Structure 1
Amino acid sequence: MTTYADRPWRALYREGQPVEVEPEFPHLLAMWADAVRRAPDQDAIRYFDATLSVAELDAASDALAAALQERGFTTGDRLAIYSQNDPAFVIAMLATWKAGGVAVSVNPMYKERELAHVLADSGARALVCLDEVHPVAVAALAAGSGVDVVITFSGRDFQTRDDERVLDPVGVPPADGAENLLGLLARYAGQRPGPVAPPGPDSEAFLVYTSGTTGDPKGARLTHANFVVNARNYREWMQLGPDDAILATAPLFHITGLVGHGVLSLLLPAPLVLGHRFHPGVMVDAIREHRPVFTVGAITAFSALAAVPGVGPDDFASLTKIYSGGAPVAPAVADRLETVLGGYVHNAYGLTETSSITHIVPPGRRAPVDPVSGALSIGVPIASVRSRIVDDAGADVAVGELGELLIAGPQVAHGYWNRPDVSAEAFPGGELRTGDVCFMDDEGWFYLVDRKKDMIIASGYKVWPREVEDVLCSHEAVHEAAVVGVPDDYRGETVTAFVSLVEGASLAETELIDFCRDRMAAYKYPRSITVVAALPKTASGKILRRELRA
């Protein structure tokens, strides 16, 4: 079969208009049903020493969907998945769709405050929760939510190796007030969910929470059509087939892992290699054992893999298609990784609001480097992506000129959940304002130069300064706070804070770092804090972040 990526890559982008593709399936359930019909005995998940076939995954998700329906879960309800890269994530995702619902991905690093916001904002009815973080969930639920079904599972489920590098060697006691996933799968084995109206292409499949182009976390409304189209783009552009195992380097709760690993594996169908959470040594062992062909993840993950003692190109020989997304890649880093990994790390670009990729460096091509800025190209637009670069007035800029990148196409989300005001600003006319400053050269390559706003990307995760500042200012000794991102060779950017204290107060910087660590995800809290007498401000009282960065 001739794929889009087999054709001359310049033909994929002509005068700003890409090749258009039609969705292969009307919704994700039709896509999955086709995979079950074609390859029921294919490995769907490989998790340490466990293997779930396509048919077994289908049966498990049927059982969970039936259990959810019996507990009152119905069409349009939301189910939050608070999980690492475990088989339970995929089972719960499919079960949610089969029961007519919408899945909500939750970062397992979220603390009580962050989880409570997602549960309340999404209106989740059910929660499938990793037992390790169930105490956090209990505290978040106590703050008030509509969740009335809680199902817990263990990272030790399905497998027997109990790798102590990522799995608790003792296990977590059964959670009070929650049902157990394995118990439900056994009780409802062989049952199928009751009939539900099939979702339309524009029906929500997932709410994925992101700070987006404005500060507070919002649920991007990602549809069945968004995922069907972009899973196909991954398959075609990366030239993948059922025999090409996928290494889940990126977390499934993140848009890159969700679409570029999870949904893609359901489409092919191809084995999805999971390892609970990212640990370089565990990932290297999984690569050696399962010989995956494709992965996409943050550049920091690949740097960590390359730093595992004793690894070399032979270990990574099967990974012939490696893509990096989530943060810009420095050319020197790409070159250094190639010597260890034995293969070129291709750039990819996308956002939560675009259901993952919109631009990639095509297979077999090397990204050019802009001689002026030193930026490595993020690639060319993939099929059906309509991207343009505009000035502050919204007018298209000339080739080579800087401006904000705007993206339209069937991959773009339908706005934010229950936020019509913010949606109208971020998606004018259905076109996403990315907030990223880019330019395009005369060959059609796109380059990401800077971010228009103050968003920080640390290890591929978005961090909005205001959220960190709010936590800092909740400390009784802090008067004012300002947070900025500073370059970091490993994380891309790291979070740095400047604070002024209440008069007469004293506070050790390490104490304040610990205060933040206890109240937010690990990638958000500041790695350094400087106490200053006063923050620099404009005449109108606005904090001068540019002076702090300097």
Structure 2
Amino acid sequence: MTVYTDRPWLALYSQGRPADIALANESALAIFVSAATEAADAPAIKYFDGVLTYGEINSAADALAASLIADGFAPGDRLALYVQNDPAFVIGLVAAWKAGGAAVAVNPMNRQRELAYLLEDSGAVALLALNELYDDVAREVIAEGTTAVRTVVTVSALDGQSRDDRRVLGGQTSDVPAGTSSLTAIIAEHDGSAVRSAAAPTADDLAVLTYTSGTTGKPKGALNTHGNLAFNAQTYRDWMGLTGDDVVLGVAPLFHITGLVGHVMIAALLRAPLVLTHRFAPDVMVEAIREHRPTFTVGAITAYIALADSGGAEAGDFASLRALYSGGAPIAPAVADRLERVFGAYIHNIYGLTETNSPSHAVPFGVRAPVDAESGALSVGVPVFNTVVRVIDDNGDDVPVGEVGEFATSGPQVVPGYWNRPEATAESMPGGELRTGDVGFMDTDGWFYLVDRKKDMINASGYKVWPREVEDVLYGHPAVAEAAVVGVPDEYRGETVKAFVSLRPGASATGEEIVEFCKAQMAAYKYPRSVEIIAELPKTATGKVLRRTLRDEVIARS
């Protein structure tokens, strides 16, 4: 049963859309098996000049699953994936499911302390790692003996292509680290092996543990189920009008929920190619776009900015991209306008969290998001299929339309909880409704606007300042490429507003000039009292600007 309410924006996207989404009751593994069965020869992954078909991915996953089971991998066990945007990620993901278990998505930027925590917390019994990540990081963690890992499989970033002269892969090695098994050798040894019969996963079974960023404490493992992944894969397909003729560009990291659902799962559902480039490097990504002509992608707005500012892009390079979405951070209207001129296509907003398996809101494809007249914020869209979002106060009660409150989300994409964290689950998901920690409002037409993270609000002399609003003004300055605003200690105001900006290539401006620019457009308590110009803002692997890091640096200096 569809849980839409009668809202004016319904007509924007409901015509011809399904009344219900059947894949909410499907497993993610069934989607891959169906693709391998019905489209075995279709390209699944385009990795530089190499191509792997759905049949080849399926056979490789069978081989790895058979090897894992032979080493004692049992139903319910976890395989940690410690790789970049490589074919091995997809092979390992499907292999974990075929072996009756689940995957643990690990950020390849993690170092010893972080990796040890994730392996220990998840209880992973097997690890698939890039050669250099094992040598540089994982070997020491495994040697300490504090994790449950007993099987280590390694892979080279050079695997999956026929030549290795791409500069982004410089320094990679195909040498198999001592004490590990090579994925290439496993595939050859177990080629054609039948996976020992294991109960097929259901929609409610755990598919992937994806860890939160840990902004409010230690990272928590979100229980992304097969049904969660399948539901939002269909959401992408039907909301954006994607078909098997599309080509998906892997801009987002695959370990992140955006890459997992918005790249891997949607490509498998469409039986379409997924273009991967090991990791995001603007010039290399432009080259991949030029070569493979992708049509759809979803990624952080910072990735789009990097592509737009890449010196390697030429006229017509982006012409194939017809469906563009951005999530992970709000888009300033000025940035959206500039990027549309560069890409020749409108970048639609999308909003969601790890706990919502990517989208809970999106701008309907072909529709331009409105801008709130008072705040200047660009809408993050409307709730997607079968999803209900309330805007609530601190007591959990609905606030009136137009008033700011916390987003609380219910729907088939919301995870059932956190791994071994019953108290955190009860606090964040009372009654199965996710308290997002994000603050915003809904207008009278049903459009939602994200104001900021609840914990990022600045209290300047008793006045509330939302960093997002100040950042939107900063993005309107012609020299500003990226901006981040934080609250810093102030003897007089308690907190005051400080901005960090990076400048566009070839542009120049002083901090004082940018302060005056903001002062002319904002109330006295809102504009930044200081602007610090830095070469590059610190970001997560998914492109989110780390305000917390900037705030901590200021406090440390003082």
Q: TM-score, normalised by structure 2?
A: 0.80
Name structure 2 gaps, 5 residues minimum.
Answer: 458-466, 472-483, 487-494, 505-537
Q: Paired residue for 1:139?
A: 140
Total equivalences in the alignment: 476
Cα drift, residue 531 of structure 1: 6.6
For 2:25 and 2:391, how far apart are their aligned partners in 1? 31
Q: Paired residue for 1:389?
A: 391
Cα drift, residue 307 of structure 1: 1.1
Counterparts in 2 of 1:310 and 1:130: CA distance versus 1, 3 Å: closer
What are the within-5 Å matches in structure 2 for residues 151-550 of structure 1?
Answer: 151-169=153-171, 171=173, 173-211=175-213, 214-312=216-314, 314-454=316-456, 488=501, 526=549, 529-530=553-554
Opposite residue 553 of structure 2, the aligned amino acid is I
Counterparts in 2 of 1:523 and 1:436: CA distance versus 1, 3 Å: closer
For 1:319 and 1:533, how far apart are their aligned partners in 2? 44
Show CA shifts across 1:218-269 (max 9, x none): 1000101000100000010111111201000000001100110011111111
Q: Paired residue for 1:96?
A: 96
Check whether the contact 1:250–1:257 (CA below 8 A) recurs between aligned residues: yes
For 2:231 and 2:199, how far apart are their aligned partners in 1? 21
Counterparts in 2 of 1:175 and 1:486: CA distance versus 1, 3 Å: farther
Counterparts in 2 of 1:533 and 1:164: CA distance versus 1, 3 Å: closer
For 2:10 and 2:356, how far apart are their aligned partners in 1? 22
Counterparts in 2 of 1:233 and 1:522: CA distance versus 1, 3 Å: closer
Opposite residue 384 of structure 1, the aligned amino acid is N
Q: Percent same amino acid among aligned pairs?
A: 54
Could you say what secondary structure the match of 1:529 adopts?
Answer: helix
Counterparts in 2 of 1:349 and 1:523: CA distance versus 1, 3 Å: closer
Cα drift, residue 212 of structure 1: 6.0
Cα drift, residue 176 of structure 1: 1.6
Check whether the contact 1:13–1:380 (CA below 8 A) recurs between aligned residues: no
Q: Paired residue for 1:55?
A: 55
Show CA shifts across 1:449-503 (max 9, x none): 1111249999xxxx9x9xxxxxxxxxxxxxxxx9x99554689xxxxxxxxxxxx
Check whether the contact 1:12–1:382 (CA below 8 A) recurs between aligned residues: no
Check whether the contact 1:245–1:271 (CA below 8 A) recurs between aligned residues: yes
Check whether the contact 1:132–1:172 (CA below 8 A) recurs between aligned residues: no
Check whether the contact 2:210–2:222 (CA below 8 A) recurs between aligned residues: yes
Cα drift, residue 142 of structure 1: 3.1
Opposite residue 181 of structure 1, the aligned amino acid is L
Check whether the contact 1:287–1:315 (CA below 8 A) recurs between aligned residues: yes
Opposite residue 344 of structure 2, the aligned amino acid is G
Counterparts in 2 of 1:532 and 1:193: CA distance versus 1, 3 Å: closer
Opposite residue 128 of structure 1, the aligned amino acid is L
Q: Paired residue for 1:494?
A: none
Show CA shifts across 1:158-202 (max 9, x none): 213324431134626421211111011111111121100111211
Cα drift, residue 213 of structure 1: 7.2
Check whether the contact 1:387–1:406 (CA below 8 A) recurs between aligned residues: yes
Counterparts in 2 of 1:323 and 1:136: CA distance versus 1, 3 Å: same
For 2:261 and 2:501, how far apart are their aligned partners in 1? 27
Is 1:111 matched up with 2:111?
Answer: yes
Q: Paired residue for 1:10?
A: 10
Q: Paired residue for 1:121?
A: 121
Could you say what secondary structure the match of 1:416 adopts?
Answer: coil
Name structure 1 gaps, 5 residues minimum.
Answer: 466-481, 492-515, 535-550
Could you say what secondary structure the match of 1:315 adopts?
Answer: coil
For 2:308 and 2:163, how far apart are their aligned partners in 1? 24
For 1:309 and 1:254, how far apart are their aligned partners in 2? 27
Cα drift, residue 25 of structure 1: 5.3
Opposite residue 78 of structure 1, the aligned amino acid is R
Check whether the contact 1:75–1:101 (CA below 8 A) recurs between aligned residues: yes
For 1:13 and 1:382, how far apart are their aligned partners in 2? 10
For 2:312 and 2:209, how far apart are their aligned partners in 1? 41
Could you say what secondary structure the match of 1:453 adopts?
Answer: helix
Cα drift, residue 138 of structure 1: 1.2
Cα drift, residue 427 of structure 1: 0.5
Cα drift, residue 57 of structure 1: 0.9
Cα drift, residue 12 of structure 1: 7.3
Counterparts in 2 of 1:328 and 1:190: CA distance versus 1, 3 Å: same
Could you say what secondary structure the match of 2:450 adopts?
Answer: strand
Check whether the contact 1:313–1:340 (CA below 8 A) recurs between aligned residues: no
Check whether the contact 1:313–1:339 (CA below 8 A) recurs between aligned residues: no
Cα drift, residue 312 of structure 1: 4.6
Cα drift, residue 22 of structure 1: 3.0
Q: Paired residue for 2:81?
A: 81
Show CA shifts across 1:67-120 (max 9, x none): 111111010000000010000000000000000011000000001000000000
The Cα RMSD (Å) is 2.9
Q: TM-score, normalised by structure 1?
A: 0.81
Check whether the contact 2:13–2:364 (CA below 8 A) recurs between aligned residues: no
Cα drift, residue 64 of structure 1: 0.7
For 1:217 and 1:53, how far apart are their aligned partners in 2? 35
Counterparts in 2 of 1:443 and 1:13: CA distance versus 1, 3 Å: farther
Counterparts in 2 of 1:66 and 1:532: CA distance versus 1, 3 Å: closer
Could you say what secondary structure the match of 2:23 adopts?
Answer: coil
For 1:349 and 1:87, how far apart are their aligned partners in 2? 27
Counterparts in 2 of 1:147 and 1:340: CA distance versus 1, 3 Å: same
Cα drift, residue 319 of structure 1: 0.6
Opposite residue 93 of structure 1, the aligned amino acid is L
For 2:555 and 2:65, how far apart are their aligned partners in 1? 53
Cα drift, residue 41 of structure 1: 1.3
Check whether the contact 2:50–2:160 (CA below 8 A) recurs between aligned residues: yes
Cα drift, residue 141 of structure 1: 2.0
Could you say what secondary structure the match of 2:455 adopts?
Answer: coil
For 2:171 and 2:338, how far apart are their aligned partners in 1? 36
Opposite residue 76 of structure 2, the aligned amino acid is G
Cα drift, residue 371 of structure 1: 1.3
Counterparts in 2 of 1:523 and 1:189: CA distance versus 1, 3 Å: farther
Check whether the contact 2:302–2:544 (CA below 8 A) recurs between aligned residues: no
Cα drift, residue 24 of structure 1: 6.2
Counterparts in 2 of 1:152 and 1:394: CA distance versus 1, 3 Å: same
Check whether the contact 1:13–1:444 (CA below 8 A) recurs between aligned residues: no
Cα drift, residue 431 of structure 1: 0.5
Check whether the contact 1:212–1:353 (CA below 8 A) recurs between aligned residues: no
Counterparts in 2 of 1:439 and 1:13: CA distance versus 1, 3 Å: farther
Cα drift, residue 533 of structure 1: 8.5
Check whether the contact 1:235–1:264 (CA below 8 A) recurs between aligned residues: yes
